[in-house]
Copies of this chain bind each other. A is one copy, B any other.
Amino acid sequence: MGKSGRPATLRDVAAAARVHPATASRALSPSTRLLVSEETAQRVTEAAQRLGYRPNPVARSLRTRRSHTIGVLIPDLNNPLFPPMVRGLEDRLAERGYVALLGNTDAHEDRERTLFDQMRARHVDGLALATATLHSPLLAEAVEAEVPVVLMNRIAQEYPFSSVSVDNEQGEKAAVTHLALLGHTRIGHIAGPQETSTGASRYRGFAAGMAAHGLPVADGQVVYATAYSIEEGQRCARELLDRDGRPGSPGGLTAIVAANDMLAVGCYGALDELGLACPDDMSVIGFNDMPFIDRLRPPLTTVRFPHYQLGTEAAKLLLERIEGDDAPVKILYLAPELVARGSTRAQSASGLTLPPSRVSGALPGER
């Protein structure tokens, strides 16, 4: 802060260093510093220091047409998946002098449109999109406006956008393998909403996993949730157990693969209602490894989803596109990781529960 009260400008620094403002500008910008004699550069730097000069990013943006601002669109910050993702993104962006403008769409189409427009108006240098309902108009506009975009946990093949997602199919397949190695053969699936890419790909992973282990999937063995909520999980689990008979009864399920942790928590509720115990009567496995999910009784076995890294990687890809001259579009997949906890347990072929075994230790990527 200058003595004067109002913050020092480049002009003030130039005056103090007895040079032209343009020279001061050159001396202070790392990229142009070599255009200026070492001696004057020194003098300017020192003057800036003395006056507590801080460049005005607004003026700079006006001139350079770069705002050093990234728009981030997510459905809802309260969904526990997003805070770590956003932190990853912001941490990485901050390192490079960017800040994030966050918008919650609540999966509302017009809210999404409004936020998109507002961010464009604020001249964001790039966009990171994690919204579930991502409609082509937005993407097409982004292409036309040449705004760099990175997609988080979403893929849009038809657009030239980098994206980073977790390999959901592979993760859900690993979940099935985990159960299969524990001796389960009659495994149900609570699928996520099929219009979401996670719901669809995890369902594919489930089917692929079952097929890989030669396990049949009967009609009633999959129930589709209409939302990723505890209530839906409970409803679907109820339906699954009704249809296929309770565990213990012939042909009854012995395990449920839920498309995410919330649905798995719903399973716990349904099992409670029916007086069944997890994992004794039924093994349950989730997806995401949400915070505190390891504190439930029993601690939930789940497929960990590296949320924070999803954010940092997305930031990297986006910055590449923004700053690199010719960075290619990249489609990045992060490997999920099975986390075995107390909600899954070995099962004999006869339908009797076995004591916990070490067989699960053989799974790659497990901890």
A117: Cβ under 8 A from any B Cβ: yes
CB pair A295–B230 under 8 Å, yes or no, is yes
Residue on B with the closest CB to A145?
A: B1
CB pair B102–A57 under 8 Å, yes or no, is no
Residue on B with the closest CB to A146?
A: B5
In the assembled complex, the Cα of A144 lies from the Cα of B1 at a distance in Å of: 10
Among B101, B120, B296, contact of A99 (Cβ-Cβ < 8 Å): B101
CB pair A120–B295 under 8 Å, yes or no, is no
In the assembled complex, the Cα of A61 lies from the Cα of B123 at a distance in Å of: 13
Complex contacts, A144 vs chain B, CB 8 Å:
1
Q: A99-B122, A102-B90 are in contact. Are A58 and B61 (CB under 8 A)?
A: yes
A67: Cβ under 8 A from any B Cβ: yes
Among B58, B90, B103, B291, contact of A104 (Cβ-Cβ < 8 Å): B90
Q: Categorize the interface residue count of chain A.
A: 35 or more
CB pair B78–A87 under 8 Å, yes or no, is yes
Q: Could you list which residues of chain A lie within 8 angstroms of chain B, going by C-beta atoms?
A: 1, 54-59, 61-62, 67, 76-78, 80, 82-84, 86-87, 90-91, 94, 99-104, 117-118, 120-123, 144-145, 230, 265, 268, 290-293, 295-297
Copies in the complex: 2
CB pair B55–A121 under 8 Å, yes or no, is yes
Complex contacts, A55 vs chain B, CB 8 Å:
121
CB pair B291–A80 under 8 Å, yes or no, is yes
In the assembled complex, the Cα of A262 lies from the Cα of B242 at a distance in Å of: 37
Complex contacts, A290 vs chain B, CB 8 Å:
292
Separation in Å of the A251 CB from the closest CB of chain B? 30
Separation in Å of the A276 CB from the closest CB of chain B? 15
Residue on B with the closest CB to A121?
A: B54
Complex contacts, A78 vs chain B, CB 8 Å:
83-84, 87, 291
Complex contacts, A102 vs chain B, CB 8 Å:
86, 90, 100, 102
Complex contacts, A94 vs chain B, CB 8 Å:
103
Residue on B with the closest CB to A54?
A: B121
Separation in Å of the A47 CB from the closest CB of chain B? 18
Complex contacts, A67 vs chain B, CB 8 Å:
58
CB pair B54–A117 under 8 Å, yes or no, is yes
Residue on B with the closest CB to A99?
A: B101
Q: A145-B1, A295-B230 are in contact. Are A80 and B77 (CB under 8 A)?
A: no
Complex contacts, A121 vs chain B, CB 8 Å:
54-57
Q: A87-B104, A102-B100, A265-B295 are in contact. Are A123 and B80 (CB under 8 A)?
A: no
CB pair A83–B77 under 8 Å, yes or no, is yes
CB pair B120–A54 under 8 Å, yes or no, is yes
Separation in Å of the A120 CB from the closest CB of chain B? 7
Residue on B with the closest CB to A76?
A: B87
CB pair B58–A123 under 8 Å, yes or no, is yes
Complex contacts, A82 vs chain B, CB 8 Å:
83
Complex contacts, A104 vs chain B, CB 8 Å:
87, 90-91
